[in-house]
Amino acid sequence: MTTDTADIVTRFGSGRAVQRIEDDGLLKGTGQYTDDVVPQGQLRVVFVRSPYPHARIAAIDTANAAAIPGVVKVVTGADLVAAGVKPIPTLPALPDGSKVHTAARPVLAHERVRYVGEAVAMVIAETLQQARDAAEAVWVDYEELPHVVDLLDATTEGGARVFDGAERNVAAQLRHGDAARAAQAFAEAAHVVRLEVVNQRVAALSIEPRSVLAWVADDGRLTLRMSSQMPSGVKNSLCNDVLGLPRDQVRVTVGDVGGGFGMKTGIYPEDAATAWAAWTLKRPVKWVPDRSEEFLSSTHGRDQRAHAEMALSAEGRILGLRLRTLANVGAYATATGMLIPLLIGPWVSTSVYDVPVIDYHFQAVLTNTMCTAAYRGAGRPEAIFIMERLMDEAARQTGIDRIALRRRNFIRPGQMPYRNPMGQVYDVGAFEKIMDEGLALADWSGFEARAAQSRAEGKLRGLGIATFLEWTGGNVLEERVTVEVQADGVIEVFSAVNQMGQGIATTLAQLVVDVFKVPLEKVRVVLGDTDRGDGFGSAGSRSLFTGGSSLHLGAEKTLDQARALAGQALEASPQDLAYEAARFTVKGTDVGIDLFELAGRQPERRIFIDHTSTVTGPSWPNGCHISEVEIDPATGVVQVVRYASVNDIGRVVNPMIVRGQLDGGAVQGIGQALCEHMVYDRESGQPLTGSLMDYAAPRADVIACDFVTEMNETVPSTNNPLGVKGVGELGTIGAAPTVVNAVADALARAGKAEAARTLQMPLTAPKVWEILNA
C-alpha cells in the first residue's frame, strides 16, 4: 500500500470517527424532508378524526365542507369502500397457525370508530387553511359505545368489547416453554422472587412527524415521497393489499428523515388515503400532521403488564422463569404490534443468563386506543427490564450480592454457540468480561464514598446495573445493493436500508473506502428509492449488520470485475495486477490504468454490480450499563448523576456515530424510566398527554452528568462478514432498568425495601416523593 492509499484508509476507512457526510447539507439548510418538496399544484389534506374512543358512525354530512372555497374533495370511509379501497393489512394468524381476532382496519373509519383520533373523513383543498376550515365543517353523527383503555379492565368478563370476535378482548396468545418442568423447578426452589412489572405506554416523538406527498409522475405512475424507514413495505401494502395497483405502477422514495425510532415502519391509513387521493385526482397531494395529531395517530410503544416469577437455588442459581404478560396492542392487531410482545420480546427474555426452563403465557389485548407497534428496542426493552428487575430483587431477597448473583448465572464463553430456552442461538458472547469492564469504568467500588457525600448534601444516592443482550436483524437477513464505478470519478452505491438521522450513509461510504481505497468525496451513497431496489429497510438495528455486509461483499465483487477488465486492457493476467488508490498496475512496472478511466472504456461507461447477500443469523449485541442517581427527599426529583456503559457491538466502523447511537438511545430509555407516559383517561377514553404541554419528554436537567461510553470490539459476530453487531437500540434497552434499579437501590438504602420491590415507571417527582413520605 502506498503512503497516499494508507492515508486515505486511515482517515476515512472503518474504525475512524469520520464526520458525517449527511451533516453538511443539513447544517446549510439544503436538506430535503418531505414537507420541503412542493410540486406545482400541490393540494393539502386534513383528516377529520373521531372525538370518541368507541362509537357507531350513524351519518356523515360533508355538504357544508365541500362548499367552502378551495375545497377539491371531501372523502368518507364509505366513499373509499365504494371505490374498492381495501383495509390496511393486519396479522391474520400467528407463526404457529393460531388465528388472530381483530377487526379489519379501514383506511377511513367506516360504520364504527375504535379510538380517539381515528380518521373518519379526508378533506383535500388548495391550501392547508382551507382544508382545516372545511374539516371543521364536516358533521358526523356518532352513537357512543362502551369503551375500554386499561389492560386489566379489557380482560374482565362482561366488560366493553373492542371487537366482538375477541373473547375478553384477547386478539391472540402464545405459550412458550415447558409448564410441567417449570412447576417442578419452582417446587424445588429455595427462593422464589415475584414482581408485578409495568412497561408504560410511550410515544416515539421523532422531530419530524410522519409525512407523505403523493403524485402521478410524468410516466403515469403513482409516486410517493415519505418520511419512512421502510419504503418497500409501503409499496408492498399499497400494491398487494390496499389499492391493488400493479407493482410497476408505484414508486416510493425517501429523502431526509428526522427520526423514526421504529414508529415509521409500515403503512399507515393516512399514507394510503393520500396515495389514493393523488391517484384519483391526478394532482400532487400532501399530508403533514401537527404534533398533537402525531400523538393521536402514530403508533405508540411498550404498554405491557407482566407477572414475573424467578426460581433460585439456595446458592443463587436460576432454576426457572415464569411470565404471564398482557400486552396492549390498541384497537387493531397490526403485525408488529402482535409479534413484538408475543414472540420477539420473549426471544431475549432470559438475556445473558443460563436459565434451564421457562413457562411463558403472553396475551395480546385489544383496547380503544391507538395501536402499539415498534418503538426503539421493540420488545427487548420490556423483556430485559423484567429480567434485570428480577435479578436485583433476587439479590435483595436472598442476601446474595447482585454482582455475585449475576456471575453465578452468566452464560459462559465455552457454552457458545448457546441455544436459549426460546430456541434462539447466540453465536458469541463474553458477558462476565463485559460486566467486569463496566464495573471498572463506573468505579463501582467507589460508590460508598460518593453516597456519603450525597448524604452530607441531604440527598439519597442509589447505584444501578443492567447486564443484558439484545437481538438484531429483524430476522430479515437478506439485503440487496448496487455498486457502480462511474467514468466521472464517482463510486455510487445504492442500498435499500434508509437514513433517519443515524448516519448510515457515512458508515456505508466508509465501507466503500475500505475496499476501493478512494477518498470519501469519491463515494456517493443513494438510499430510499424502490425503483433502485426493494429491500426490508431500516428496522431492528439491521442497517449495517445486513446492508453493510451486503455492500462490503458487493464492493469486493465490483473490484474483482474491475480487475478482470483491467487485465484485458493491460494485456496481463488479473493475478499480476496490483491495486492502489483507484489504479491498477502491472506488478513490478509503472504500466497501469486508472479505475475511473477503465469505467469510461466500458460500453455503458461504468462498471456495475447488482449484489444480494444473506447473513447467517441475527447478531447479539450486549452490554453492562451502570448508573447512579440522586434523589432530593424534599421534592422527589430524581437526577442521573453518573452513567457508564461498556457495549459489545462487535467491530465498530465509526466510533463517533456508534457513541451517538448508544448515548441517544440511553436518553430515550432514561426518559421512559423517569418521565414519559402516554396516558388515556380510563373513564372518558381521551388521551391526556396529547401535546408536549402534557407529555414529559426527557430534558437536559434530568441527566446531570456526561455519559462515559466504551465499546468492546474483542468479540466480533460470526454471523456476518463484517463482524458487526447492531447498535441502534442497545442504549435504550439498558438504560431504563439500570436507572430504575438505581432508584430502587436508593429507596432500599433509605429503609423502603417494599417500595423498591413495587416500583413502577415513570419515576416522576410526585411518585417518588409520595413513596418517601408514606
Q: What is the reported pLDDT for 1?
A: 44
Listed residue (771, 674, 653) closest to 716, CA to CA? 653
Block residue for cell numbers 355538504: 63
Using alpha carbons only, what angle is made at residue 475 by residues 250 and 255, rounded to the nearest 5 degrees?
40
Q: What is the reported pLDDT for 10?
A: 67
Q: Which residues contact 240 (CB under 8 A, 6 or more apart)?
A: none
Q: What is the reported pLDDT for 4?
A: 64
- Whole-angstrom Cα distance, residue 417 to residue 407? 19
- Assign domain 34-145+205-297 one CATH number from 3.90.1170.50, 3.10.580.10, 3.40.50.1010, 1.10.3720.10: 3.90.1170.50
Asked if 34-145+205-297 and 427-472+620-774 have one fold, the answer is no
Q: Looking at the domain 427-472+620-774, which fold is it?
A: Aldehyde Oxidoreductase; domain 4 (3.30.365)
Q: Which residues contact 430 (CB under 8 A, 6 or more apart)?
A: 413, 648, 714, 715
> What DSSP letter does each residue of 559-614 carry, written as one string?
HHHHHHHHHHHHTS-GGGEEEETTEEEETTSS-EEEHHHHHHTSTTSEEEEEEEEE
Q: What is the reported pLDDT for 349?
A: 98
The predicted model gives 432-447 an average pLDDT of 98
Over the stretch 631-649, which tens digit does the pLDDT of each residue have? 999 999 999 999 999 999 9
Over the stretch 713-732, which tens digit does the pLDDT of each residue have? 999 999 999 999 999 999 99
**Hey, what's the cell of 351?**
438475556
Share of the chain above pLDDT 70, in %: 99
- Whole-angstrom Cα distance, residue 202 to residue 373? 11
Q: What is the reported pLDDT for 67?
A: 98
What are the distances in angstroms from CA 609 to CA 521, 543, 554, 559, 580? Answer: 21, 20, 7, 10, 20
Q: What is the reported pLDDT for 638?
A: 97
- Assign domain 3-31+474-614 one CATH number from 3.20.20.370, 1.10.10.60, 3.30.365.10, 3.30.70.100: 3.30.365.10
User: How many residues can be counted in the chain?
Assistant: 774
Sheet with 577-580: list strands edge to edge. Answer: 577-580, 583-586, 592-594
Q: Which residues contact 59 (CB under 8 A, 6 or more apart)?
A: 140, 141
The predicted model gives 50-63 an average pLDDT of 98
The predicted model gives 271-292 an average pLDDT of 98
- Whole-angstrom Cα distance, residue 262 to residue 729? 10
Q: Is the pLDDT of residue 413 over 50?
A: yes
pTM of the model: 0.96
- Whole-angstrom Cα distance, residue 422 to residue 475? 15
Q: What is the reported pLDDT for 540?
A: 74
- Whole-angstrom Cα distance, residue 255 to residue 233? 16
Q: 112-113 and 191-202: which strand pairing?
A: unpaired
Cis peptide leading into residue 417 (ω within 30°): yes
Helix (H, G, I), strand (E, B) or coil at 641: strand
Each domain of the chain, given as residue ranges in start order, spans: 3-31+474-614, 34-145+205-297, 147-204+299-415, 427-472+620-774
What letter would DSSP give residue 40? Answer: T
278 — pLDDT class (breaks 50, 70, 90): very high
- Between helices 380-398 and 402-409, what is the axis angle to 10°? 120
CATH number 3.90.226.10 given to 147-204+299-415: no
- Residue 177 backbone zone (phi > 0: left; psi -120 to 50: alpha; other: beta): left
Q: What are the beta bridge partners of residue 665?
A: none
Handedness of CA 264, 265, 270, 271 (dihedral sign): positive
Q: Which residues contact 100 (CB under 8 A, 6 or more apart)?
A: 90, 91, 92, 93, 94, 171, 172, 333, 338, 364
Q: Is the pLDDT of residue 2 over 80?
A: no
What are the distances in angstroms from CA 767 to CA 395, 675, 687, 762? Answer: 24, 11, 21, 8
What are the distances in angstroms from CA 712 to CA 503, 584, 669, 756? Answer: 21, 37, 21, 32
| Chain mean position to CA 55 | 32
Q: What is the reported pLDDT for 515?
A: 95
Over the stretch 678-727, which tens digit does the pLDDT of each residue have? 999 999 999 999 999 999 999 888 898 999 999 999 999 999 999 999 99
- Whole-angstrom Cα distance, residue 288 to residue 35? 7
Q: Is the pLDDT of residue 6 over 70?
A: no
- Whole-angstrom Cα distance, residue 84 to residue 279? 13
